[in-house]
Chains A and B, each alone.
Chain A
């Protein structure tokens, strides 16, 4: 495992997109995880950020984030389908093969498993013509899906080749979930792994999880759950996951620091993780789903 397997996330850095891309590239990263705000908030319109990403030479790890998609009905569902289509179009324009979709927090969403499965199947079908894969993530404050295991059951039942999971270490840690939860997941259905840690032992409430997630995450190796993060990465590696990692680090302090300094911390984190799973640089075993054989 080396830095080529990691995308640094633009949400960690302050400033304009071009400066973020430069800092990420100069820190030695070859991938970047992009956010819709990078596109729609760009003063040069939508074409300029697409051009900037292409000219940076950085590969795009993924594009985030579609929120509150599943479980709605009527006009709310139609509205979210429009949002999803716009996100997919941006995702394609940026050259991203992965769109991140978080479990719904909407009070208007049903928890009916059949509806959630059906809606994610629809999202996956919308993404097929663009060649985009949907990575479904259990937000630890999701209304009906807040645990990785719950998200996996829905992805498994939906059974769509371009629908998989995003495993986010923060949400696993914030719930105190045993990392053994990934043992039940088919490795080829993990489309992205997002890594981060935080600086206190526990998040005691839903509000605490939200606040910590949005403001106080740190890079792996910098927090107090290094053992658990390490165990999770080793477990994923052992089970055959060979996809990309990104650093999902929302941190208010990092947004006040010079970009090269933050990017250097991200690079240090890569080194820390690579030390845990150094043998990943060996040729990867190719995982072929049974249905595709």
Chain B
């Protein structure tokens, strides 16, 4: 009788067409960004120039955690291919990583195979653009995922402050020609991102389409290849991260003093709105965008 009651009382509710929340995964920002590189020392030195500090080393792999303020960057050299460093993954903070993973796969995401060793965390994730991955992390408030898999480096500040208020602003993604709507649907369906009105941009590179996260804390920028150009090969993939800072000129000065060179010609010269570094290690650039978060 109880079972019968439970079924009948649940059925009408289940059938009621209630829209999903606008932030279905409880997305809450970026937990870490991962680069893959066979040049970990050179890349680490670049991160340090950008204000990051190495804080921990992975227990079983050639992986180092860098941090400044609320930003974590993982430099993964474990089996990394030779060549330029690549932006290989972004880990997103969510309410329930298991739910985020299951929902994404149910909707058509490609799951990634678990690769955790014994006693290591299995961080669920899906395939993103190109060879990149999207991880889901739900332990970021009262528990750190890095406490399990990483060993702190001796004698370093575990939580180094951010230089000039730097924080995550977004990730820029190169996409194929006429692929904007495909990727809008991908990020909209899976993660709840939505496109800003056409023509609304931040920073000094007003190209493509800007997508805002449902938690309103970061952006994805989709950039199609320039029309009708026989330029360099345009592969789909994550191409750079953007850092927010409340005072771009002051941050440019601080980073310049640390040896970082900014592009100072044409439309991308440093301004109050933003700035772009030169290429490092053949492929890596960082963007600054004014942001008062």
Q: Convert B226-241 into 0s and 1s, putting 1 for each residue whose CB lies closer than 8 angstroms to a CB of A.
A: 0000000000100000
- Using known A-B contacts A85-B110, A124-B108, A292-B180, determine if residue A129 contacts B185 with beta carbons closer than 8 Å: no
In the complex, chain B residues whose CB is within 8 Å of the CB of A224? none
Name the distance in Å between B129's Cβ and chain A's nearest Cβ: 6
The answer, yes or no, to whether B279 is at the interface (CB within 8 Å) is: no
- Using known A-B contacts A131-B176, A131-B236, determine if residue A125 contacts B109 with beta carbons closer than 8 Å: yes
The answer, yes or no, to whether A143 is at the interface (CB within 8 Å) is: no
- Using known A-B contacts A129-B129, A131-B179, determine if residue A161 contacts B185 with beta carbons closer than 8 Å: yes
Partner of B127, one of A121, A129, A289: A129
Which A55-114 residues sit within 8 Å CB-CB of chain B?
Answer: 85
For B109, the closest partner residue in chain A by CB is A125
Q: Is the CB of A126 within 8 A of B180?
A: no
Which A113-133 residues sit within 8 Å CB-CB of chain B?
Answer: 121-126, 128-129, 131
The answer, yes or no, to whether B49 is at the interface (CB within 8 Å) is: no
Name the distance in Å between A192's Cβ and chain B's nearest Cβ: 17
- Using known A-B contacts A129-B128, A131-B236, determine if residue A161 contacts B110 with beta carbons closer than 8 Å: no
Q: Is the CB of B180 within 8 A of A125?
A: no
- Using known A-B contacts A125-B189, A129-B128, A131-B236, determine if residue A162 contacts B108 with beta carbons closer than 8 Å: no
In the complex, chain A residues whose CB is within 8 Å of the CB of B130? 129
A125 CA / B184 CA spacing, docked (Å): 11
- Using known A-B contacts A131-B176, A131-B236, determine if residue A125 contacts B107 with beta carbons closer than 8 Å: yes
- Name, among A121, A125, A291, the residue most crowded by chain B CB atoms within 10 Å (CB to CB): A125
- Using known A-B contacts A125-B189, A129-B129, A131-B236, determine if residue A161 contacts B108 with beta carbons closer than 8 Å: no
In the complex, chain A residues whose CB is within 8 Å of the CB of B236? 131
Name the distance in Å between A155's Cβ and chain B's nearest Cβ: 14
- Using known A-B contacts A85-B110, A131-B236, determine if residue A125 contacts B176 with beta carbons closer than 8 Å: no
The answer, yes or no, to whether A160 is at the interface (CB within 8 Å) is: yes
The answer, yes or no, to whether B181 is at the interface (CB within 8 Å) is: yes
Q: Is the CB of A129 within 8 A of B110?
A: yes
Partner of B108, one of A121, A131, A291, A292: A121
For A161, the closest partner residue in chain B by CB is B181
In the complex, chain A residues whose CB is within 8 Å of the CB of B194? none
Q: Is the CB of B179 within 8 A of A160?
A: no
The answer, yes or no, to whether B120 is at the interface (CB within 8 Å) is: no
A125 CA / B128 CA spacing, docked (Å): 11
The answer, yes or no, to whether B183 is at the interface (CB within 8 Å) is: yes
Q: Is the CB of A125 within 8 A of B179?
A: no
A122 CA / B109 CA spacing, docked (Å): 8
In the complex, chain B residues whose CB is within 8 Å of the CB of A291? 181
For B104, the closest partner residue in chain A by CB is A125
Q: Is the CB of B107 within 8 A of A128?
A: no
In the complex, chain B residues whose CB is within 8 Å of the CB of A289? 181
Q: Is the CB of A128 within 8 A of B176?
A: no
In the complex, chain B residues whose CB is within 8 Å of the CB of A125? 107-109, 185-186, 189-190
Q: Is the CB of A162 within 8 A of B182?
A: yes
A153 CA / B128 CA spacing, docked (Å): 30
A85 CA / B110 CA spacing, docked (Å): 9
Which B163-195 residues sit within 8 Å CB-CB of chain A?
Answer: 176, 178-183, 185-186, 189-190
A292 CA / B182 CA spacing, docked (Å): 10
- Name, among A125, A129, A289, the residue most crowded by chain B CB atoms within 10 Å (CB to CB): A129
In the complex, chain B residues whose CB is within 8 Å of the CB of A122? 106-108
Partner of B182, one of A85, A121, A123, A128: A128
A122 CA / B106 CA spacing, docked (Å): 8
In the complex, chain A residues whose CB is within 8 Å of the CB of B109? 125-126
Name the distance in Å between B216's Cβ and chain A's nearest Cβ: 24
Q: Convert B53-92 into 0s and 1s, putting 1 for each residue whose CB lies closer than 8 angstroms to a CB of A.
A: 0000000000000000000000000000000000000000
Q: What residues make up the interface of B, taking CB atoms closer than 8 Å to A?
A: 106-110, 127-130, 176, 178-183, 185-186, 189-190, 236
- Could you list 26 A-B pairs, sorted by A, with CB under 8 Å? A121-B108, A122-B108, A123-B108, A124-B108, A125-B107, A125-B109, A125-B185, A125-B186, A125-B190, A126-B108, A126-B109, A128-B183, A128-B186, A129-B110, A129-B127, A129-B128, A129-B130, A131-B179, A160-B185, A161-B181, A161-B185, A162-B185, A289-B181, A291-B181, A292-B178, A292-B180
Given contacts A121-B108, A125-B109, A131-B236, 15 further A-B contacts (CB under 8 A): A85-B110, A122-B107, A125-B107, A125-B185, A126-B110, A128-B186, A129-B110, A131-B179, A131-B182, A161-B181, A161-B182, A162-B182, A162-B185, A291-B181, A292-B181
